[in-house]
Chain A
Amino acid sequence: AQRVTQPEKLLSVFKGAPVELKCNYSYSGSPELFWYVQYSRQRLQLLLRHISRESIKGFTADLNKGETSFHLKKPFAQEEDSAMYYCALSGGSNYKLTFGKGTLLTVNP
């Protein structure tokens, strides 16, 4: 079974502060990990995924297989980063996504 855990429901930081959204997963095989973001009143959209190893909007995430983690980080948070962030896992050939419960990030001015 595949499971994604996001331990923080809410995270509040000040503008310019570093931010880290935690994600841990459980999967017996080799997973593909994603971060999705949902801004207020908008649809869910892909932020980044581990296989592309890219930085989007200043966010990065590294897959740590030893700790089964895929934490999302940004060194200097901006107010426009305020949104709901979901970590998701895909395993196997069926392309199904298992989502974590999400973390609501609020960046205060």
Chain B
Amino acid sequence: GAVVSQHPSWVICKSGTSVKIECRSLDFQATTMFWYRQFPKQSLMLMATSNEGSKATYEQGVEKDKFLINHASLTLSTLTVTSAHPEDSSFYICSARGTSGWDNEQFFGPGTRLTVL
């Protein structure tokens, strides 16, 4: 159990377009989902914390108008990279925290590789 999926697994887009990435908890309800960004050979940097039904909380330095997060249900959160530019190219990873039984544990998705041309 406790599987998190992401879609798409990779995406290539032109500069100036918007890209939506989905994060789903497949077999549990996630009250909280987290979005991370990982640059090559570097660690995960938390971008934002998303609670179902409320606005996301963004980390310092992350543009909320650039990275739109929606957590409309207990099993789905989306990250939309608006007006993407080459510097937005990165590996985006989501994680989900369950409603019960797993305390502070986060379950991670496989990641989405975004390449902006």
Residues of chain A touching chain B, judged by Cβ–Cβ distance below 8 Å, are 32, 36, 42-46, 49, 51, 86, 90, 94-102
Contacts and interface: CB of A to CB of B under 8 A. Distances in A.
A92 B44 CA distance: 19
Nearest to A42: B110
Contacts of B42: 101
Interface string B37-62: 00000111010010000000100000
Given A43-B110, A46-B105, A49-B105, 16 more contacts: A32-B104, A36-B108, A42-B110, A43-B108, A44-B95, A51-B103, A86-B43, A95-B32, A95-B97, A96-B34, A96-B46, A96-B49, A98-B46, A99-B43, A99-B44, A101-B42
B69 to A, nearest CB: 15
Interface residues of B, number: 19
Count chain B CB atoms within 10 A of each CB in A36, A45, A97 and give the residue with the most.
Answer: A97
Contacts of B46: 96-98
B43 A102 contact: yes
B108 A44 contact: yes
Contacts of B104: 32, 49, 90, 95
Contacts of A46: 105-106
Nearest to B32: A95
B34 A44 contact: no
| CB-CB nearest 3 A-B residue pairs | A44-B108, A101-B43, A43-B110
A100 B109 contact: no
B44 A95 contact: no
